Structure 1
Amino acid sequence: MNYLKVLTVATAMMALSGCVVAIGGKDENSSSNNSSWKKAQKLNNQVISQLNLGTALDSVRGQLGTPDFSESFREGDNETVVLFYRTHHQHSDGETTKDECTPLVFKNAVLTGWGEKAYRQL
């Protein structure tokens, strides 16, 4: 009788060993991830609102971390870098897109402007 119980438990354990229960998702609509992108977005807005023109690129990266997107190009001796940080929700698709970000424009590693107007003037 004990042999039959052990065999039944062992069979059940082998059958269940491959089962995985997924709780929550990785899209921005899940509750845990939802709050993390909202917090990051809020923090980005707070930091950007306190920036000053002339701030060094390294200082801004130190405050805001890795940008969601970046672009850079060189014209003659001048280097332009644009960092994009998520600041406003547009799409509930689980992805951050440039239209949900604020561009920060740096010329020769110095902040010269931010926002759509600064970006369009490039």
Structure 2
Amino acid sequence: MNNVKRLSLLMLVPLTVSLSGCLIVTDRESYDDQDYQQQDVADVERSNRAIIASFSEGEAIAVVRERLGTPDFSESLTLNGDSYQVLYYRTHRLHKDGLTTKDECTPIVFKQAKLIGTGELALDRLP
């Protein structure tokens, strides 16, 4: 064997060993993973329902945001000098499209940053 081939072989062995290893790639969009994502969303929905049920009228909006995090949707308006905020948190699934829509959320209604009600009934009672 000539020196060039021997040198090439000596360089190739350490390079090959250093490149060997294990690589795991996951595809979050695969069919199997969709079941996992749906379970994760179901856990969030269940947790949100339990937290919302624990609130009392007059609860501060800051406390609600602290316990539930960023809402999926939010709206605000001022009527007759009163400030109203509505925060929407996902609590149930209606569509199997992987998206969150308002009709899959529970509205939490505040007047002057204090909780006045939850759900569609509270939303319908806004002046």
Which interval holds the TM-score relative to the shorter structure? 0.7 to 0.9
- Unpaired stretches in structure 1, ≥5 consecutive residues: 7-20
Aligned residue pairs total 111
1:63 correspondence with 2:67: yes
RMSD value over aligned CA atoms?
Answer: 2.7
Instruction: Work out the CA distance in 2 between the residues paired with 1:45 and 1:103.
Output: 11
1:4-57 per-residue CA deviation (whole Å, 9 max, x = no partner) reads xx9xxxxxxxxxxxxxx7623189x81232122111101101101111000000
Query: What residue in structure 1 maps to residue 114 of structure 2?
Result: 110
TM-score w.r.t. structure 1 length?
0.77
Which of 87, 92, 95 is the equivalent residue of 1:88? 92
Which has a greater percent of helix? 2
Larger-gyration structure (1/2): 2
Which stretches of structure 1, 4 residues or longer, exceed 3 Å deviation after superposition? none
Q: Kindly, what percent of the aligned residue pairs are identical? A: 41
CA-CA distance at 1:101 after TM superposition: 0.6
TM-score w.r.t. structure 2 length?
0.74
1:33 correspondence with 2:37: yes
- Unpaired stretches in structure 2, ≥5 consecutive residues: 13-24
Matches within 5 A, 1:11-50: 23-25=27-29, 30-50=34-54
